[in-house]
Amino acid sequence: MQRQVALIKQSLFDQGYLDEQFMELEELQDDANPNFVEEVSALYFKDSARLINNIDQALERGSFDFNRLDSYMHQFKGSSTSIGASKVKAECTKFREYCRAGNAEGCLRTFHQLKKEHSTLRKKLEHYFQLARQAGPKETARRPK
Amino acid sequence: MINPGSNSDPFPAGLRVLVVDDDPTCLMILERMLMTCLYRVTKCNRAELALSLLRKNKHGFDIVISDVHMPDMDGFKLLEHVGLEMDLPVIMMSADDSKSVVLKGVTHGAVDYLIKPVRIEALKNIWQHVVRKKRNEWNVSEHSGGSIEDTGGDRDRQQPREDADNNSSSVNEGNWRSSSYRKRKEEEVDDQGDDKEDTSSLKKPRVVWSVELHQQFVAAVNQLGVDKAVPKKILEMMNLPGLTRENVASHLQKYRIYLRRLGGVSQHQGNMNHSFMNGQDPNFGPLSSLNGFDLQALAVAGQLPAQSLAQLQAAGLGRSSLIKPGMSSSPLVDQRSIFNFENPKIRFGDGHGQAINNGNKQMSLLHGVPTGMEPKQFAGSSYMRVQQQITGVRPGQNVQSSGLMLPVADHLPRGGPSMLPSLGQQQPMFSTSVSRRSDLTGAVRNSIPETNNRVLPATHSVFNNFPADLPQNNFPLASAPGISIPVSASYQEEVNSSDAKGGSSAATAGFGNPSYDIFNDFPQQQQHNSKLNDWDMRNIGLVHSHQDTAAASAGFSTSEAYSSSSMQRKRRETDATVVTAHGQNQQPPSRSLNHLNHVFMDGGSVRVKSERVAETVTCPPATTLFHEQYHQEDLMSALLKQEGIPSVDNEFDFDGYSIDNIPV
């Protein structure tokens, strides 16, 4: 089971969903905080859902306040980066570029893509954490502090 | 295992870190990382909250880590505030790695800049910034202490930046050199001092630069001349027990940075402050109005950066002295100034006590006697005030509001003079607004570091409040409701007095002082309220800054009076807003200031004038202002008496003169 979990995790990295930042987070996990990564992920998804919602509303209004959108996206990018969600981060960067260029259509398209990546990652991580919990306390590759 | 904060190696452990970021994910991750480094972490997702935490707990943290982009306050503003008020090292971080932002971090004084995602390795070493800062301070104090009495002084001057070069002479060459690069900030490096190598000895009690303290500081700096001010002399001038040269030195560094950032506002503005103070010219009137707002803004903003306050103070102080009798009202002013000087001192003491405690102690700052050593906070406000004064002074006046970089001052287009006076007085308050308004006051800015500018806006607001309220003496703190800003009660009093006095008291910038007595006079004025109100606002501004220029204030009152009526209304509104804002004092000044600034702008064309005036004004030596402030109260009362309540009206007539009269 643990092996399975490890494989899943590895595939997430391989496929580029996660980057080494995620590994950094795992290193922060220890006996005193065994579920740290999962907690952070949960927090990230909750917060990013809120941001996505804001952006959605802003886009729906059709007013395209690029500054505001850019600022939302900056926040989004910050959290995504911190958790190591690399694909999501890439979409954020693209979105911001479109914002700066004033390209509304590009923004919409990218945002759509971003949402997709975001929800894909969410599902994958949820699955991963679930398995991990089932597998019991797993030994994550931790470097000595 | 490792004992936190011990003298030996474990030093980094237990380091008290405050981390501020609106992103909860990042915050959580950082917290975890910092805890892993064995630091004591406090996390905060709002900048205002962080500032209030820091203020409440002056020595509760060793270092602050803050995100750049936050919804409630710009990270750089927070950085400035922390630097000025608490003198803590601040690390900025952001997902944004563009050079311009990083550069901004550097220019605002951040000790480091981290790019997100932050890795734990980067956090492991943040303790170096704490050590470095402490060492620098030690060196400064060491140097100042002692031995080098005269040579040291010279040294200070000489070494503007490289400590190392000059100081090698003494004792701790080694130490000094190592710290010298840290202290690159030119000024004071003091040199030699003892070598305090060991970090454990770095635990010096941190001096809190309250508004009053900062005002004193600014006054001293202005008196010496910003370029020539060396910590040793400043320390001597301030003459406050418990303040070490190193404290002054490090504060001076920050102040200089702030000034530089302000775009080199010429000392000219500083002078202006003086003029305000001295000249209670009508010019001040306008300024005061502006200042009031600024101050308020400042107050609202919370603690104005100490520097700003200090600047205001300095400006105010400087100004007051500048205000020359030239002004028609000057004779009075002169007298008043004299009075002010004497009294203010006393008053401030009292005022301070009160003021200091309030976030808005701006008023106390005005008094110039920062009894408390928390200049930082006040400094901001003081700056504002000073600036305001400056602006008021306008052309002739030298907005002496020294220190108050009355950004608002620029506004004072109208009767400049009137405005100015108020500005001068507003120093404490203005500092906050000043900082904001730095652009406006340009001139004023000079003396006041950026922070001051910010401060000013607040101060202005404060002043504005006064006028309206002054007559009533109800003001909780400052007669003006707006003044709820820290301006401490003393301010109010002054304001009131100024109003009552018909502007003459405008000079009573010495609000800081428990010049309640002055205010008492107001009641009579209140009848004149309509006029007074306007004036009050102005006067307040002026008064504050001008303590010295009692005469000037008188001048203002008149000028202000008329201008104030319209302004008053506006001011009132703004004041109201400001007041509430100020109430929080602790609130991030930057925000409130901005708000105030806006407010001011509406209400105050006057402000603009004041600011302008500020430019022309040169700041008289800070010390003078200080005195003036004190005296203003007396002067004001004296003036008021002389002029009677109706004088207020008269003063408006002066409108033009103040500026002219006020020798810059």
Determine the residue of chain B that is closest to A85 in CA distance.
B117
What does the pLDDT read at residue A43?
92
Chain B residues with beta carbon closer than 8 angstroms to that of A28: 29, 32-33, 36, 120
Note whether A43 contacts B22, CB cutoff 8 Å.
no
Note whether B28 contacts A40, CB cutoff 8 Å.
yes
d(C-alpha A77, C-alpha A100), whole Å = 15
CA A43 to chain B, closest CA, distance in angstroms equals: 6
Alpha helices in B239-329 (DSSP H): 245-261, 267-278, 284-301, 306-322
B118 at the A interface (CB within 8 A)? Answer: yes
User: What mean pLDDT comes out for the span A44-56?
Assistant: 90
3-state secondary structure of B19: strand
What does the pLDDT read at residue B634?
53
What does the pLDDT read at residue B143?
62
What does the pLDDT read at residue B301?
40
Q: Give the residue, B201 or A101, on which the prediction is more confident.
A: A101
Determine the residue of chain A that is closest to B32 in CA distance.
A28
d(C-alpha B5, C-alpha B2), whole Å = 9
User: H or E segment at B67?
Assistant: strand B63-67
Name the residue among B624, B594, B37, B529 with its Cα closest to residue B314. B624
CA B21 to chain A, closest CA, distance in angstroms equals: 10
Residues 6 or more apart whose CB falls under 8 angstroms from that of B350 comprise: B490, B513, B514
Q: How would you classify residue B607: left for phi > 0, otherwise alpha for psi between -120 and 50, otherwise beta?
A: alpha
pLDDT(A124) > 60:
yes
Note whether B29 contacts A82, CB cutoff 8 Å.
yes
Q: What is the DSSP letter of A18?
A: B
Q: How distant, in Å, are the alpha carbons of A62, B94, B375, B402, B557 from that of B213?
A: 52, 34, 3, 15, 28
Note whether A74 contacts B29, CB cutoff 8 Å.
no
d(C-alpha A88, C-alpha A111), whole Å = 10
Averaged in consecutive runs of 10 residues, what is the pLDDT profile of chain B (664 residues)? 48 85 90 90 90 87 90 87 86 87 89 88 87 81 51 41 42 43 44 42 63 81 81 81 81 84 56 42 40 42 44 45 41 42 41 40 40 40 39 39 38 40 39 39 39 39 39 39 38 39 38 40 42 41 39 39 40 40 40 39 39 41 42 49 46 44 50
d(C-alpha A75, C-alpha A58), whole Å = 15
Chain B residues with beta carbon closer than 8 angstroms to that of A75: 22-23, 69
Chain A residues with beta carbon closer than 8 angstroms to that of B28: 39-40, 43
* Nearest CB partner across the interface for A81, out of B22, B36, B116: B116
d(C-alpha B628, C-alpha A8), whole Å = 75
What does the pLDDT read at residue B41?
92
What does the pLDDT read at residue B354?
41
Q: What is the DSSP letter of B91?
A: E
CA A8 to chain B, closest CA, distance in angstroms equals: 23
B116 at the A interface (CB within 8 A)? Answer: yes
Residues 6 or more apart whose CB falls under 8 angstroms from that of B12 comprise: B37, B38, B39, B124, B127
Note whether A84 contacts B26, CB cutoff 8 Å.
no
> In the A/B pair of chains, how many CB contacts fall below 8 A?
58
3-state secondary structure of B184: coil
Chain A residues with beta carbon closer than 8 angstroms to that of B2: none
Q: What is the DSSP string of A26-79?
A: HHH--SSSTTHHHHHHHHHHHHHHHHHHHHHHHHHHT---HHHHHHHHHHHHHH
* Nearest CB partner across the interface for A28, out of B33, B96, B116: B33
What does the pLDDT read at residue A58?
84
* Nearest CB partner across the interface for B25, out of A33, A83, A145: A83
What does the pLDDT read at residue B11?
64
Note whether B25 contacts A145, CB cutoff 8 Å.
no
pLDDT bracket for residue A44 (50, 70, 90): very high
- In DSSP terms, which residues pair with B43 in a beta bridge? B19
Angle at B531 between CA B526 and CA B536, to 5 degrees: 75
Note whether A33 contacts B32, CB cutoff 8 Å.
yes
Determine the residue of chain A that is closest to B70 in CA distance.
A75
pLDDT(A113) > 60:
yes
Chain A residues with beta carbon closer than 8 angstroms to that of B19: none
Name the residue among B456, B454, B486, B467 with its Cα closest to residue B583. B486
3-state secondary structure of B619: strand
pTM of the model: 0.43
**B79 token code pair:** 């950085």
Contact between B362 and B487 under an 8 Å Cβ cutoff? The reply is: yes
Note whether B36 contacts A39, CB cutoff 8 Å.
no
Q: What is the DSSP string of B336-397?
A: HHHHHHHHHHHHHHHHHHHHHHSTTTHHHHHHT---SS-HHHHHHHHHHHHHHHHHHHHHHH
* Nearest CB partner across the interface for A78, out of B36, B95, B120: B95
d(C-alpha B310, C-alpha B448), whole Å = 7
3-state secondary structure of B515: coil
What does the pLDDT read at residue B20?
92
d(C-alpha B626, C-alpha B334), whole Å = 14
Note whether B117 contacts A81, CB cutoff 8 Å.
yes
